[in-house]
Amino acid sequence: MAAVTETIRTVQGLEADKYLHGFVTDIEQEFAPKGLDESTVRFISEKKGEPEWMLAWRLDAFERWQAMEEPDWAKVHYPKIDYQDLYYYAAPKKKPQLNSLDEVDPDLLATYAKLGIPLREQAVLAGVINSPRVAVDAVFDSVSVATTFKAELAKAGVIFMPISEALKEHPELVRKYLGSVVPVSDNYFACLNSAVFSDGSFVYVPPGVRCPMELSTYFRINAQSTGQFERTLIIADRGSYVSYLEGCTAPMRDENQLHAAVVELVVLEDAQIKYSTVQNWYPGDAEGRGGIYNFVTKRADCREARAKVSWTQVETGSAVTWKYPSCILRGDESQGEFYSIAVTNGRQQADTGTKMIHLGKNTRSRIISKGISAGKSSNTYRGLVSSHAKAKGARNFTQCDSLLIGKECGAHTVPYVEAKNAHSVFEHEATTTRLSDDQLFYCRSRGLSAEESVALLVNGFVRDVLQELPMEFAVEAQKLVAVSLEGSVG
């Protein structure tokens, strides 16, 4: 790939220039050409100024990825992805030239208004480029807020920074834990991520520290920089606690069609991580064209005794969602929880669920999944609960509820249960209900409009899970679920 070599040389030239002309770099130029080969991987690593071992790690992942095949077992259908037709590093954003909010799709603005997003943030999210003051203000705001937060976190000893920075400042921690939960060649998309991930978040909470804030507001402000191949690594050392929230309730337009993130959580003795996700990426147009493919690997390792992890997710966006936040319950008496709301409308497809792998004694897990399908969408819960021969006294409770709105959607439940010892207790409950005309009429006869009625009934259906979200996000998520289902009853 001569073009790549040339680009690399150009960039190397720029790097050298840096020291002559200061740190002014033209961000627009910082991208690798389309396509993926070894030089792309080297380019990314070099751009990030990564240590040698990191490059070797990436190259190893790339080599393994080439030998792998894209999986096809999920109940989702999408056109074949051409991996040579993608940008892997800082793809130039081809956002439409918008001069003011007046030019933004009115539907999008209406949605922002319903979600209660301030005007300034709306402009940033919609990508109005000719009003730099708006964007700059927001960025300045977020920088100052972030700085305040960082000072407070530093006081508590919590490390919270982009993973690319952590590679420079805390290489020993990254090296020790990166890939220790999701091995390089775990699956096709995780392997691809390992080779080409651009950035993501790194969190380390020292022993006995209770993180003084939800790591959420910060992330929300920064949500527009959501990358295509994100890598998140969170470590809760012994006896510590942290609550982390990723995502954004605002619908994000993004030119990157494929999102293949990896999230690794390491939970040590008596520590707890609460990880919440609100995902509302572009689901595509009415025919499902142009929507995001969200193929994410999320896994938590309860590595030592009494470690605890909770995954809570509200998934309303993307054209195709394929993710199974999982818990490895290695430590004795460790606990895993999974609370999920997955809403599909239009032609969206979601195949999501969890894995609870019981390895330690007296480990416990709990799964509450609420799937809501409307329009012509398909919503599948797929979950694995397994207990190892040594996992005596393992317990799981699974509750899987599906709600159908309309007659053209589908809901599927695929539970896998494997008990390899006679001392495990696994319970599974599942229900499928249709939103009934009787219930709708009952609500309307009390004065609620058709849409208010659906929103009320659906919010009742997902209440158990909403309660698991951090307070301020529960309110937004509730509105989000309602907005996602608008127009689903006529």
Q: Write out the residues near another protein by the rule CB under 8 A.
A: 436-439, 441-450, 452-453, 456-457, 459-464
Rounded Cα distance, 488 and 490, in Å: 7
Q: Is the Cβ of residue 184 or residue 458 nearer to another protein in the bound state?
A: 458
All residues at 6 or more sequence positions from 367 whose CB lies less than 8 Å from its CB, including other chains: 337, 338, 353, 354, 356, 383, 385, 396, 397, 398, 399, 400
Q: Measured from the CB of residue 451, what is the shortest distance to another protein in angstroms?
A: 10
For residue 447, CA distances in Å to 192, 399, 452, 453 come to: 52, 33, 9, 9
Q: Measured from the CB of residue 312, what is the shortest distance to another protein in angstroms?
A: 17
Q: Is the Cβ of residue 82 or residue 437 nearer to another protein in the bound state?
A: 437
| Selection from 329, 308, 328, 342 nearest residue 462 by Cα | 342
Q: What are phi and psi for residue 348, nearest 5 degrees?
A: -65, 150
Q: Measured from the CB of residue 436, what is the shortest distance to another protein in angstroms?
A: 8
Q: Is the Cβ of residue 144 or residue 449 nearer to another protein in the bound state?
A: 449
Q: Measured from the CB of residue 433, what is the shortest distance to another protein in angstroms?
A: 9
Q: Is the Cβ of residue 66 or residue 436 nearer to another protein in the bound state?
A: 436
Q: Measured from the CB of residue 478, what is the shortest distance to another protein in angstroms?
A: 11
| Selection from 285, 146, 295 nearest residue 228 by Cα | 295
- What single string gives the DSSP state of each residue in 173-206? HHHHHTTSSS-TTSSHHHHHHHHH--B-EEEEE-
Q: Is the Cβ of residue 225 or residue 445 nearer to another protein in the bound state?
A: 445
Instruction: Kindly report the number of other CB atoms within 10 A of residue 297's CB atom.
Output: 24
∠ CA(107), CA(261), CA(213), 5° rounding? 80
Q: Measured from the CB of residue 368, what is the shortest distance to another protein in angstroms?
A: 12
For residue 129, CA distances in Å to 140, 255, 379 come to: 16, 16, 37
Task: Tokens for 404, please give them.
Answer: 């159908």
Q: Is the Cβ of residue 285 or residue 452 nearer to another protein in the bound state?
A: 452
Q: Measured from the CB of residue 233, what is the shortest distance to another protein in angstroms?
A: 36
